[in-house]
Amino acid sequence: MRTRLLPLPRSAEYQTGSVSWASPLRVAVTDDLRGAVTTFALDLKTAVGWDVAFVDAGTGGDLEIALDPALGPEEYRVVVDDVTVVTAGSPAGASYALTVLRQLGAVELWSPTRSTLERCEIARVVIDDGPAFPWRGVHLDVVRHFFDVASVCRLIDLLAAHRLNTLHLHLNDDQGWRVEIPGWPRLTDVGAWRRSSPVGHEDAAMDDNTPHGGYFTADDLVHLREHAARRFVRIVPEIDLPGHAQAVIAAYPGLGNVEEPLEVWTRWGISEHVLNVGAEALAFAEDVIRYVAGLFPESPVHIGGDECPTSEWERSPIARHVMVEQGFGDARQLQGLFTHRLSAALRDEGHEVVAWDEVLDARVDPGTVVCAWRSSSKGVEAARRGLDVVMAPMQFLYFDWLNSVDPKEPTAQAPVPYATTWQKVYGFSVVPPGLESELHHHVRGAQAQLWTEYISTRDHLDYMAFPRVTVFSEVVWGTPTTLEDVRPRLEVQLDRLAIMGVRFRSLDPEA
Ligand code: TNX
């Protein structure tokens, strides 16, 4: 029975026997948890056609669900019995408990189309659970290849199935701008479309000469936010500036540093073309970040800040002038002007600020959450500077890297010998090695990155995401065990993903 749960709960004590559930499932729930139970009821209806009948507590229903203020915000307790009792610290905790109950039941409970299931047996068990880390995320790049609202909603559902709670959406880059912004129509009229994309690996220098693009309207983003909220997933939007800005400059050349017209970039990599450091460019960045943040009032907001080449600034008279004015000795310090300006604007609106670890190379405001991607040691550096950190090191958590060194693997970002097998992901330590124990509290959690230069379809996104996201979910929940222990549980979870239509990468036979 233990093989049914992934991520593994903190504690699960199995009793003998099981209880039997059938339609209509009789559920007693307090008003504050009705939302979580409604989502569960809709899932059950979709999966196996069962009804949920709301009943009063103490009338012998199948399931009673209530809040327990003594539990932490994401904690819950499940006692499977003749009347199964769920208590939770919040609606999110209750939703995790319902997810776990679905895992205890038959895999058909996960079907997206009506499967037939008369009844199902749920093992008698007492589960006490809660995550070790509050930030359990997946990042999706919708720029290098655009993924539409339906695809993103589906990914959100898959995160929720793994008790992951954060989707970081990368919304702009050199190769495209993916969100409509009032007052800046050319961002989407021009910036959302590129003429061509690389074929095969970037290094092969081949072009497909096929236009690609797309963008989200405000309504789309609100729809995503609301869909995610129903599954207790929080969306963290990212606007990545002042680097990765070629699409912006293609739309509004005055925000760049060069005279010649630029197009939305058709190659992968890091464009040299970055925003200039004049007043208009800083005001633009602030305007955009305020607007996007406003669509996600409850969320932290990511201001990017990665990979910003300074070559154009070194040649720019405006940049030189600003450097003198600010007393900067190094052009890299100019990036701090953006970081500071955007951070102040976001904090003003009550948002927490998140940025890639390059912001450590210039002025960074206290309270900024750092996404450590270049290596785990960047997480150590951030924590030692008193900053909270989300671990995202590419060596373990860039799922655009190969699934294995097998020459039959499809083209991926990093070539052989780099590969990130699910086994390697399972061995990832969220707390970075070498971090002093009194600084561990700075580690908010971790997230897996799905950069999409080499991922252009939903099926391929599935292949790169799963099963790595599945084992990652257990690592970041805080309950990893051994490869021998997780494998049978992983196989059951892959049966569920298969029912859900996920085109995951199959496990290699055991060595
Ligand atoms: C680095 S991570 C990038 C992305 C690329 C990715 C490819 C980061 C903050 N920047 O622009 O897509 O590598 O793996």
Distance 189 CA to ligand 1 centre (A): 25
Q: Does domain 137-465 have CATH number 3.20.20.80?
A: yes
Q: Across residues 469-477, what is the average pLDDT?
A: 99
Q: What is the pLDDT of residue 1?
A: 66
- Ligand 1 atom at minimum distance from 244 CA: 11
SS3 221: helix
Q: What percent of the chain has pLDDT over 90?
A: 96
Q: Across residues 144-151, what is the average pLDDT?
A: 98
> Any idea where the domains of the chain sit in the sequence?
2-129, 137-465
Which residues touch 341 (CB under 8 Å, ≥6 apart)?
282, 285, 286
SS3 122: strand
The 10s digit of each residue's pLDDT in 239-256 is 999 999 999 999 999 999
Q: What is the pLDDT of residue 364?
A: 84
The 10s digit of each residue's pLDDT in 339-387 is 999 999 999 999 999 999 998 987 788 999 999 999 999 999 999 999 9
Distance 451 CA to ligand 1 centre (A): 7
CB 1 within 8 A of CB 106: no
- CATH no. of 2-129: 3.30.379.10
Q: Residue 438 pLDDT > 70, yes or no?
A: yes
Distance 270 CA to ligand 1 centre (A): 9
ω before 261 within 30° of 0 (cis)? Answer: no
N residues, the chain = 511
- Ligand 1 atom at minimum distance from 401 CA: 14
Distance 156 CA to ligand 1 centre (A): 22
At residue 373, what are phi and psi to the nearest 5 degrees? -115, -30
Q: Whose CA is nearest to atom 6 of ligand 1?
A: 451
Distance 248 CA to ligand 1 centre (A): 18
The 10s digit of each residue's pLDDT in 279-298 is 999 999 999 999 999 999 99
Euclidean distance between CA atoms 218 and 222, whole angstroms: 6
Q: Residue 20 pLDDT > 80, yes or no?
A: yes
Q: Across residues 146-166, what is the average pLDDT?
A: 98
Pocket of ligand 1 (CB under 6 A): 306-307, 356, 373, 398, 400, 413, 451, 453
Q: Which of 168, 274, 449 to mutate to test the pocket of ligand 1 (most atoms within 8 A of CB)?
A: 449
Opening angle at CA 149, ends 207 and 227, nearest 5: 150
Binned at pLDDT 50, 70 and 90, residue 510 comes out as confident
CA 436, distance to chain mean position in Å, is: 27
Q: What is the pLDDT of residue 443?
A: 98
Q: What is the pLDDT of residue 73?
A: 96
Positive or negative: CA dihedral 481, 469, 231, 43: negative
Q: Whose CA is nearest to atom 2 of ligand 1?
A: 373
DSSP state, 204?
G
Integer-rounded Cα Rg, in Å, for the chain is 24
User: Which pair of tokens denotes residue 112?
Assistant: 């997206």
Q: What is the pLDDT of residue 62?
A: 97
Q: What is the pLDDT of residue 55?
A: 96
Binned at pLDDT 50, 70 and 90, residue 6 comes out as very high
The 10s digit of each residue's pLDDT in 391-408 is 999 999 999 999 999 999
Q: Across residues 436-448, what is the average pLDDT?
A: 98
DSSP state, 179?
B
Q: What is the pLDDT of residue 478?
A: 98
Q: Which of 307, 390, 400 to mutate to test the pocket of ligand 1 (most atoms within 8 A of CB)?
A: 307
ω before 467 within 30° of 0 (cis)? Answer: yes
Q: Whose CA is nearest to atom 10 of ligand 1?
A: 306
CB 337 within 8 A of CB 326: yes
Which residues touch 49 (CB under 8 Å, ≥6 apart)?
23, 114, 116
